[in-house]
Chain A
Amino acid sequence: MEGMDEIRDTFFQEAEELLGELERGLILIQEGDRDSETVNAIFRAVHSIKGGAGMFELDRLVSFAHAFETVLDDLRSRKIGLEANGLKTMLRSADLLSDLVRTARAGEEMEAGREAVLMAELAALSGGVADAAPSAFDAPELPAGPVSRLYDIRFTPLAALYANAGDPALLVRELHRLGTATVSCDASHVPDLSELDPEGAYLSWTVALETTESEDTIREVFEFVEGDCILEVIAGEPMVVEEPAVVEEGDGFDVAALLARMQAELGDGPAPEATPSPFDMPFAPDFSADFSNVVDLADMRPVETPAPSPAPAVEPVAAPVLAASPAKTEESKASSAPAPAAGATIRVDLDRLDRLVNLVGELVINRAMVAQRVVEAGLSNTAAVSVGLDELEQLTREIQDNVMALRAQPVRSVFQRMSRLVREVGEAVNKQVQLVVEGEGTEVDKTIVERLTDPLTHMIRNAIDHGLESPEKRLEAGKPLTGTVHLSARHASGHIVIEVSDDGGGLNRPRVRDIAVSKGLIPADAQLSDEETDNLIFLPGFSTASTISNISGRGVGLDVVKRSVQALGGRISIASRPGRGSTFTLALPLTLAVLDGMLVTVADQTLVLPLTSTVETLKLKPEEIHALGSSKLVTLRGAFTPMIDVGRHFGYRHAPADLTKSVGLVVETQGNTRTVLLVDEIQGQRQVVIKSLETNYGSVPGIAAATILGDGRVALILDVDALVSEASASASDFSFAIAG
């Protein structure tokens, strides 16, 4: 089939959504939901995954989904009840199902036999051996019998066949496909019109079929109507070659004549019933040659109030509903789009969306340039063109917001994955944990949603492993045995704020401090506020776990989390209350296309610093500057902080900056390291549209990207992390200076 790759993508996308629904449903049930619709929904989810997987011959996925579905089917038909154990098996099955989907999507093969245990558990739940899943494709058709036989087929439809919109003419035609058929119709049981039940079944057919096909194949033709007809297939002796059988006319039964007779009777007789009861009576058609004729006749069946009119009889039947005229076809084409339902969606290629986002970025820049020209031309603020530009600004801003919203997605997809994580981590460290999720509908740029998984995974692992106390300690402290991890998302002042909090013991500040000192991260006599102490855990090389568990001991510390959050232009912090728990707070921008920047001047160049990395600005006094080898340090509240002269660093000038005319910008980089950047002047804060330098020019160390200013000039956006590590690589290591 064509377009299969695209459909495959659709399948996996849909499967992800269905897995989400499955997870959500199971959690609801875990929380005590006993609504039958919930069970139905999870059954449907697994069922749909199975159905789709079958189309792509993902056999392992199909068989596991089948075993899972069987249990869910029993559950919804109340054949089995649900116990805690059963629910656990189902949750784990959901996890495995999602693993199977993901490995299938990646085109990988999961290690053999991983399903075995769960398959057995599922089979035990449904109280028996899981029946084999349907094979991916039907068995090949039976090979044609070598010899030709003459079969005598007698076929008498029952009323039920017609009621289900079955059509004997089509069945007879199917027989024609198998060989040479001689058909005759027995209409002798058709009663007089006065006694005729329009929905009755009065006709039967006899077909002499000469074919090389087997009897089974013949019976297969009647598969759909089995039970709705009386069928006899009598096989004759194998035949010797015979002259080609001539298809005969059906038994002298003349449709036109019957119709004419009916019309005549209707015309004379009482008026037809008011209800437009369709004549659901199949007329024995002329099978001899022209089959299109049969179809036409068949189409005429739903007669709406037959108008009593003179011959020719076949013509006058009122426009049959089903006989689609060309005009009708047009009409149905036009209306073929389903009625726009609420929440209708359209899928758009991501590239197109990104192109649009880029174009809007250009538009914003262009508008700013025009505005600048207007100012340069010396026009007043009240000039018509300025007023017009203001309106244009309003519009572009709205367009920008709306376009950004196109890329926005709810964080739900990431949040959903966390419940599995909580289960697994909880089991691994023997703690009972419940996850409470809030605001999963909060929307943020798709790229940010995708990159949230890692930091969130880490924070949640950390919350369970280090945050929550052991069950014994919780009982001692008079807390409920089951610990709670809260995961929430909300919008706040142009950012999305995500919080992960636990109701555990909170950070052990004296210990945090001891570790930081023992690892040489802070001087032994450093004066730190509670907040500063708490944030020490984000330092590289800090780990409070005295025993490395396989949960958080993956060689990744919270410093990595902090770095990945910063890479997204966000910030992370922790607040802790002893005995009450800790809260990680993550603040991220809503989009990656626009940056809140601090514009500064360095040697007549305009540079942009990400606002998120800027902590404070200060006027420097000469007595606070200390030289240390080739580099300089600033005393910042008693702590030595490295200083970078940005103009010299980038080679804009060779002479050192004039301190009396310079401004210091305190920036925070990886692991809370603070550095002072020396610039000439601060221009102000502004939102800038990020333009990739790499795609337009090339990668430059210390420069993250570029933007175009209102006057049309290009301004470089500094990569503060790279700048600082580059500068400190050439100087000595001042890691103790972080205590600022």
Chain B
Amino acid sequence: MTKTILTVDDSRTMRDMLRVALTGAGFNVVQAEDGVHGLEVLAQNSPDVIITDINMPRMDGFGFIENVRRDQRCRVIPILVLTTESDAAKKARAREAGATGWIVKPFNTTKLCDAIRRVAG
């Protein structure tokens, strides 16, 4: 069963990167450009995993995760946060907001797939 991944990132580079890496690894990819857009896309798709950036215009990653976790339909979807920092405080904050795990940028395909496997099999 092909897994569908929703990626939410305002950077075109990062979106392309995620798309190429994930499609290459055999995932189905759905993309959004910020939190608000992410919720819109989520309303029409049922991804198996969500990967989101934190710093985004309109609605940031924390706000996006909170919204997803409030939604009865989506609250059980594992969410991975993209972060450039590997310090504990940032990770704790992501987890507090409801993230299931994180991926530290820069990532490669292996790192990406490892993280997905760890939260979604």
Contact = CB atoms under 8 A, between A and B. Distances in A.
Nearest to A170: B121
B84 A338 contact: no
A493 interface: no
A301 B74 CA distance: 12
B46 A321 contact: yes
A278 B76 contact: yes
Interface in B1-26: 1-2, 4, 10-14, 16-17, 20-21, 24
Interface string B51-80: 000011100000000000100110111110
Q: Choose among B2, B56, B77, B121 the residue with the greatest number of A CB atoms under 10 Å from its CB.
A: B121
A695 interface: no
B16 A6 contact: yes
A389 B106 CA distance: 59
Given A3-B20, A51-B105, A301-B76, A335 B45 contact: yes
B48 A50 contact: no
Interface in B90-121: 92, 95, 98-102, 104-109, 111, 117-121
Interface residues of B, number: 61
Contacts of A301: 76
A44 B17 contact: no
Interface in A414-442: none
A164 interface: yes
Contacts of B111: 138
A642 interface: no
B120 A329 contact: no
Given A166-B119, A338-B37, A50 B84 contact: yes
B12 A10 contact: yes
Nearest to A65: B84
B41 A338 contact: yes
Given A321-B46, A322-B76, A332-B46, A338 B31 contact: yes
B78 A341 contact: no
Contacts of A329: 1-2, 4, 28
Contacts of B10: 44, 48
A31 interface: no
A153 to B, nearest CB: 16
Given A54-B84, A164-B100, A332-B4, A10 B13 contact: yes
Nearest to B85: A134
A701 to B, nearest CB: 46
Contacts, number: 170
Contact of A224 (B37, B82, B100): B100
A247 interface: no
Contacts of A48: 10-11, 13-14, 55
Contacts of A339: 37, 40-41, 44
B77 A276 contact: no
Contact of B84 (A1, A51, A276, A294): A51
B13 A55 contact: yes
Contacts of A163: 69, 75, 98
A465 B40 CA distance: 53
Contacts of A328: 46
B72 A55 contact: no
B61 to A, nearest CB: 12
A164 B55 CA distance: 20
A278 B121 contact: no
A7 interface: yes
Nearest to B95: A164
A511 B45 CA distance: 73
Interface in A29-44: 40-41, 43-44
Contacts of A44: 10, 55-57
Contacts of A333: 28
A373 B116 CA distance: 68
A697 interface: no
Contacts of B85: 134
A186 interface: no
Nearest to B69: A163
B25 to A, nearest CB: 10
A280 B78 CA distance: 13
A295 B118 CA distance: 12
Which 5 A-B residue pairs are closest in the complex by CB-CB distance?
Answer: A224-B101, A54-B106, A11-B13, A52-B13, A48-B11
11 contacts: A1-B108, A2-B24, A10-B13, A15-B13, A48-B10, A51-B84, A51-B106, A55-B107, A275-B72, A278-B76, A291-B121
Interface of B: 1-2, 4, 10-14, 16-17, 20-21, 24, 28-33, 37, 40-41, 44-48, 55-57, 69, 72-73, 75-79, 82, 84-86, 92, 95, 98-102, 104-109, 111, 117-121
